[in-house]
Amino acid sequence: MASTETSTQSSTRRGGAGTAALSGLAGLEAGLDALETAVVTSTPRSEVLRRKVLPPVVAVALVLVVWQVLTWTQIVDPYKLPSPSAVWSEVVDAWLQGTLLDYIWTSLWRGVSGFLLALVIGTPLGLLVARVRFVRAAIGPILSGLQSLPSVAWVPPAVLWLGLNDSMMYTVILLGAVPSIANGLVAGVDQVPPLFLRAGRTLGATGARGTWHIVMPAALPGYLAGLKQGWAFSWRSLMAAEIIASSPELGIGLGQLLENGRTNSSMSMVFLAIFLILIVGIAIDLLVFSPLERRVLRSRGLLGRS
Partner 1 sequence: MASTLTKAEDRTAVAHAARIQHVSKSFGRPGAQQLVLDDISLDVAPGEFVTLLGASGCGKSTLLNLVAGLDAPTVGSIETPGGRPALMFQEHALFPWLTAGKNIELALRLRGVPKNDRRDEAERLLGLVRLTGAHGKRVHELSGGMRQRVALARALAQDSQLLLMDEPFAALDAITRDVLHDELTQLWHETGLSVLFVTHNVREAVRLAQRVVLLSSRPGRIAREWTVDIPQPRRIEDTAVAELSVEITEQLRGEIRRHGQH
Q: Which is nearer to partner 1, 35 or 160 (CB)?
A: 35
CB 125 within 8 A of CB 144: no
Stretch of residues binding partner 1 (CB under 8 A), selected from 10-18, 54-62, 166-174, 267-275: 10-18
Question: Is 203 a residue that touches partner 1 (CB under 8 A)?
Answer: yes
Question: Is 202 a residue that touches partner 1 (CB under 8 A)?
Answer: yes
Cβ 116 to partner 1 shortest distance, Å: 23
CB 224 within 8 A of CB 247: no
CA-CA distance, 162 to 158, in Å (whole number)? Answer: 6
CA-CA distance, 70 to 25, in Å (whole number)? Answer: 75
Question: Is 208 a residue that touches partner 1 (CB under 8 A)?
Answer: no
Question: Is 39 a residue that touches partner 1 (CB under 8 A)?
Answer: no
Cβ 128 to partner 1 shortest distance, Å: 22
Stretch of residues binding partner 1 (CB under 8 A), selected from 87-95, 130-138, 223-231, 294-302: 294-302
Question: Is 300 a residue that touches partner 1 (CB under 8 A)?
Answer: yes
CA-CA distance, 304 to 111, in Å (whole number)? Answer: 33
Cβ 120 to partner 1 shortest distance, Å: 23
Question: Is 37 a residue that touches partner 1 (CB under 8 A)?
Answer: yes
Nearest to 176 by CA among 243, 229, 253, 98: 229
Question: Is 213 a residue that touches partner 1 (CB under 8 A)?
Answer: yes
Question: Is 30 a residue that touches partner 1 (CB under 8 A)?
Answer: yes
CA-CA distance, 118 to 171, in Å (whole number)? Answer: 10
Q: Which is nearer to partner 1, 21 or 116 (CB)?
A: 21
Question: Is 305 a residue that touches partner 1 (CB under 8 A)?
Answer: no
CA-CA distance, 259 to 264, in Å (whole number)? Answer: 9
Query: Could you give the dihedral angle defined by the CA atoms of residues 84, 88, 89 and 91, in that order, rounded to the nearest 10 degrees?
Result: 150
CA-CA distance, 296 to 166, in Å (whole number)? Answer: 35
Residue 94 parent element (H or E): helix 84-97
Q: Which is nearer to partner 1, 38 or 160 (CB)?
A: 38
Cα 19 to Cα 12, 29, 31, 94, 195, distances in angstroms: 11, 18, 21, 85, 38
Question: Is 17 a residue that touches partner 1 (CB under 8 A)?
Answer: yes
Question: From the DSSP assignment, how many helices (H) and strands (E) are in the chain?
Answer: 15, 0
Nearest to 143 by CA among 159, 155, 166, 127: 127
Cβ 195 to partner 1 shortest distance, Å: 5
Stretch of residues binding partner 1 (CB under 8 A), selected from 29-37, 118-126, 162-170, 272-280: 29-37
Question: Is 47 a residue that touches partner 1 (CB under 8 A)?
Answer: no
Site string (220-249) toward partner 1, x via CB under 8 A: x-----------------------------
Binding residues (CB under 8 A) for partner 1: these are 10, 13-14, 17-19, 21-22, 25-26, 28-30, 32-33, 36-38, 40, 195-196, 198-199, 201-205, 209, 213-214, 217-218, 220, 296, 299-302
